[in-house]
Structure 1
Amino acid sequence: MSRHLIDKVAVGWQTLGTDLLDGAPPALLIALTGGEQWASRTLDHLVQPDGSPPRRMTVDQESVITSDFQWGYILRPNGIEVRNVFHEEPGPVVAWSADPRTVCAAPWPAPAARHTRGTPPLATAAPAKATATRTNTRH
């Protein structure tokens, strides 16, 4: 998963496709996609305002505060950790073996108010060690 989501992309993802599910049981593929297939697409043809090639954005404590991130996903050897930037405590780790149709309950209460760009959230998450793009971390 980390090779597909992080290592094989220069900048970020425009669309994540069913190729993420390669090797999954056919019944699961049908349940998740209705039998349809589509390819993941990367963000191509991007340039910085100065005309230079785009750089991959690293999510850290500063970028979380100055952006409008609400959620982050950290790929761990044992699963995907779901982080809520409004709370300091680590999020749950969803095991790689978990059925993707399973509803995962968030352990955090809803924030009283949503922070706005440039305003620190109620609490910020510790800097993530994983590299992610804005596209695949924003929900």
Structure 2
Amino acid sequence: MLGAANHRFGGDLDALRRHLLDGSHDWKQLGKDLLDRVPDPVLHRLDPHGDNGPSARSDDVFHLDGTPAKPIPITDANAMGLEWGYVLHDHGIEVIALTYYDRGPIVSWDTDLLSRVSDTPSLWAPTRPAPVQAPAPMLEITKPAAPAPAPARPRITR
């Protein structure tokens, strides 16, 4: 969400909210297309092998009579089986580990996209800071110096 908010939607949180909530569908998954306009070096560090696919909508859900189903708002009564919840506030995204808490800490929208974020639900207590660490430093890869040429061998003639 941080990449989508800051790059694809240029900080326009209302546009991000409309994109996620106003469709006539639910989401199967949120994907790499939300990272449009993220600088290539950052995108490569986020997804070095290009494994993440595009977002996928659940457009193929129908009632028994054949009419398309409308999205179902998530409430306490029907959230069973969900692990995470997210609330998009103006000052950051609230991350809720639903298996442990009914609220969560806020991750500021200006958090570095390359920060290391824990996926351990018990660490996302609403009374603690979000378990987000500064990004690991970029490793510099240098080419080894070319080996010195081997000394010439004396040529033996007969």
The TM-score, its normalising length taken from structure 1, stands at 0.61
* 1:39–1:53 Cα change, 3 Å: same
Question: Where in structure 1 are there 5+ consecutive unaligned residues?
Answer: 109-139
1:69 to 72, 75, 82: 82
**Contact preservation (8 Å) 1:82, 1:91:** yes
Q: Does 1:101 align with 2:133?
A: no
Q: Is 1:13–1:40's contact at 8 Å kept on the other side of the alignment?
A: yes
Shift of 1:38: 4.3
Aligned to 1:44: 59
C-alpha distance in 1 between matches for 2:96 and 2:30: 20
Q: Residues 25-36 of structure 1: matches in 2 within 5 Å?
A: 25-34=39-48, 36=50
Among 27, 36, 41, the residue aligned to 1:13: 27
Give the 3 Å change call, closer, same or farther, for CA 15–107 of structure 1 in structure 2.
Answer: closer
* Deviation, structure 1 residue 100: 3.1
Give the number of the structure with larger relative contact order, counting CA–CA contacts within 8 Å between residues 6 or more apart.
Answer: 1
Match of 1:55 among 42, 67, 70: 70
* Identical positions, percent: 31
Q: What secondary structure does 2:45 align onto?
A: helix
Distance 1:27 1:3, change over 3 A: farther
1:60–1:14 Cα change, 3 Å: closer
Q: How many equivalent residue pairs?
A: 104
CA distance in 2, matches of 1:58, 1:22: 27
CA RMSD of aligned residues (A): 2.3
Q: 1:28 to 1:3 in 2, by over 3 A?
A: farther
Moved beyond 4 Å, runs of 4+: none
**SS of equivalent residue, structure 1 residue 31:** helix
Q: CA deviation at 1:81?
A: 0.5
The 8 Å contact of residues 97 and 124 in structure 2, kept in 1 or not, is answered as no
The alignment status of 1:82 with 2:95, answered yes or no, reads yes
Q: Distance in 2 between matches of 1:13 and 1:6?
A: 9
* Cα distance in 2 for residues equivalent to 1:48 and 1:16: 24
